[in-house]
Amino acid sequence: MTTVGEFMTTRLVTMDGNDTLIAAAQEMRDSAIGDVVVTDGDSVVGIVTDRDITVRGVAENMDPGSTRLNEITSRDVITVSQYDDAVSAADLMRTYAVRRLPVIDDGRLIGLVSMGDLAVEREPQSVLADISADDPNN
């Protein structure tokens, strides 16, 4: 059995829900990532992706300089443990139609597993795995 902890991403970027969309977009650009985990202290509140900023923020004519992450955060966060089976994590993603799952240990965020991580682990010859394993092109 392959566990989530064997291939989860531990290089995480977290931000406070009061941070602005611009701050999150700049952090994503600078870190070459597509999402930030929104936290309140040690608690995971939600996830904001680059697509959320575009679709929920900018496309809705929200001012990225004053709009806070709390206003667009996906809050129904499904989490997993580092000891959970990778297949179970993939099933959760499919069931809840999400592409990322925060990995929690004893109530603390320790990692993130994405659909791309699962593809690299489970189907290394797939197109998604190939794209996910490649260096960012930005």
CATH number at residue 74: 3.10.580.10
What average pLDDT does this structure show over 47-59?
Answer: 95
Query: In angstroms, what is the C-alpha Rg of the chain?
Result: 15
Percent of the chain with pLDDT over 90: 63
The answer to whether residue 138 is domain-embedded is no
Q: What is the pLDDT of residues 25-38, one digit of tens each?
A: 999 999 999 999 99
pLDDT band at 134 (very low <50, low <70, confident <90, very high): very low
d(CA 47, CA 57): 14
The answer to whether residue 77 is domain-embedded is yes
Q: What is the pLDDT of residues 75-105, one digit of tens each?
A: 889 999 999 998 899 889 989 988 899 999 9
d(CA 40, CA 131): 32
Range of the domain at 48: 4-133
